[in-house]
Amino acid sequence: MNRCILHIDLDAFFVSVEQALAPGLRGKPVVVGGRPDRRGVVASASYEARVFGIRAGMPLAQAYRLCSQAIFLQGSFPVYRDASERFMAILADFSPCLEPAGLDEAYLDITGCEAYGTPHQLASHIKERVKKEIKLIASVGMAGCKVVAKIASDLGKPDGLVEVAAGQEKEFLAPLPVINLPGVGKRTEQELKAMGIKTIGQLAALPPEAIKNRLGAAGVIIHRYANGIDDRQVELTGEAKSISRETTFAEDTLDRTFLQAILRYLCERVGAELRQESKHARTITLKLRYADFETITRRISSKETTDADEAIFAGAVTLLDQALARKRKLVRLIGVGVSNLVGYGKQLHLLDSRPQRLAHLDRAIDRIRNKYGFTSIQTGRTLLLKDIFATREGDFMLETTSLSR
């Protein structure tokens, strides 16, 4: 039986949630990410803002230069998480075979659901329910494999519904630029350009060895994708594979105490997320971006797993100290991530009583924060950030958060 996979991605997610809450923002250039006089980047831009060239990941100041009349919003992550949960709940009504691929996107395998309608009808029904129940617009791609479904949903945006019939995958992909292929970033795009390859069709036509010699194993995968071949299943679990938080400073800094305080705050955010997912982590990663945009990541792994704020911080701060000792350059961004996640069942539990006590403490703090907001409790090191917390409403800054699945 031919597989039928949907990829569903919400349009301008963070911005659209803000517009659903304040309909006066609809139809306007809106940017979520923070105030344009602060550092930081655009997290989400409305399609009206995109007309001016504003894109996710762009510095806010640049976005302001492109469109000074745009409305800049700080954003509120808990609100987006709620919307995401409601979105996933709607999708789960259509098929149990659901794989969230981020906050606002998911794959849904609807193979064998013919009794409920054609794929096109099911996709339209999903779009209607999302619009009616959470007031958001979903773009849907339909195809026989994940990669083609994803490209199709992207291509139809905004408010898209694109179906690629079985057997038509190669023709559909051929005219598109290689950058549309998942797994092809700016660097790979350049490499391919140097080989005279601009479109997915040109890439698909290359002998597999040619691309393997140039790009290694990653090349083999994108070559298969270019040919519309992708055997990946829709993974039922949808569990987080990594969780990270990062923040860009208002001013570049080398102040070690301040860096440690922010790092502690980010570790507490990551720890809370990890506990919410009922996971333990083996690997802790520190990310630093220097004022000259050089970016480094350093990681440590241990046999023991943890979900404790203190343990995550201990690992991250060791990495930070090593990095600061090696390079005296002003820091622009700091981030922390955990990966190599395992469920509670598999944890190698530490019998020593201190981690147990810390686990209780973390959970007690989680409960209070869930009720009164994250900044209602500050731990020792983050007290230094008290004034910063006080000057912003709600979340003290919009950290880029990612839950990779």
Residues 127 and 107 sit within 8 Å (Cβ to Cβ)? no
Question: Nearest 10 degrees: CA dihedral of 231, 232, 233, 239?
Answer: 180
Task: Report the residue number, 46 or 260, with the smaller CB distance to ligand TTP.
Answer: 46
- Interhelix angle 309-326/353-372, rounded to 10 degrees, is 100
Active site residue 105: yes
Mind spelling out the 3-state secondary structure of 213-277? HHHHHHHHHHHHHHCCCCCCCCCCCCCCCEEEEEEEEEEEECCHHHHHHHHHHHHHHHHHHHHHC
Residues 63 and 36 sit within 8 Å (Cβ to Cβ)? yes
From residue 6 to residue 45, what is the string marking binding to Mg ion with x (rule CB under 5 A)? ---xx--x--------------------------------
Give which of ligand TTP, Mg ion, none residue 225 binds (C-beta under 5 to 8 Å, depending on kind).
Answer: none
Instruction: Provide the 8-state DSSP code for 141.
Output: E
Region binding ligand TTP by CB under 6 A among candidate stretches 6-14, 205-213, 215-223, 337-345 = 6-14
Region binding ligand TTP by CB under 6 A among candidate stretches 103-111, 167-175, 363-371, 385-393 = 103-111
Task: Report the residue number, 44 or 306, with the smaller CB distance to ligand TTP.
Answer: 44
Among 4, 13, 160, 269, binds ligand TTP (CB under 6 A): 13
Query: Per the omega criterion (within 30 degrees of 0), is the bond before 175 cis?
Result: no
Question: How many chain residues touch ligand TTP (CB under 6 A)?
Answer: 15
Give which of Mg ion, ligand TTP, none residue 76 binds (C-beta under 5 to 8 Å, depending on kind).
Answer: none
Say whether residue 14 binds ligand TTP (CB under 6 A).
yes
Give which of Mg ion, ligand TTP, none residue 188 binds (C-beta under 5 to 8 Å, depending on kind).
Answer: none
Sequence-distant (≥ 6) Cβ neighbours of residue 286 within 8 angstroms: 263, 297, 298, 299, 316, 319, 320, 323, 334, 335, 336
Sequence-distant (≥ 6) Cβ neighbours of residue 132 within 8 angstroms: none
Of 94-113, binders to Mg ion (CB under 5 A) are 104
From residue 40 to residue 69, what is the string marking binding to ligand TTP with x (rule CB under 6 A)? ---xx-----------xx------------
Say whether residue 273 binds Mg ion (CB under 5 A).
no
Sequence-distant (≥ 6) Cβ neighbours of residue 385 within 8 angstroms: 261, 262, 265, 378, 396
Structure tokens given for 389: 């917390």
Query: Which one is catalytic: 18, 48, 99, 105?
Result: 105
Give me the least distance between CB of 24 and ligand TTP, in Å please. Answer: 19
Binding-site ranges for ligand TTP (CB under 6 A):
9-14, 43-44, 56-57, 103-105, 157, 400
Binding-site ranges for Mg ion (CB under 5 A):
9-10, 13, 104
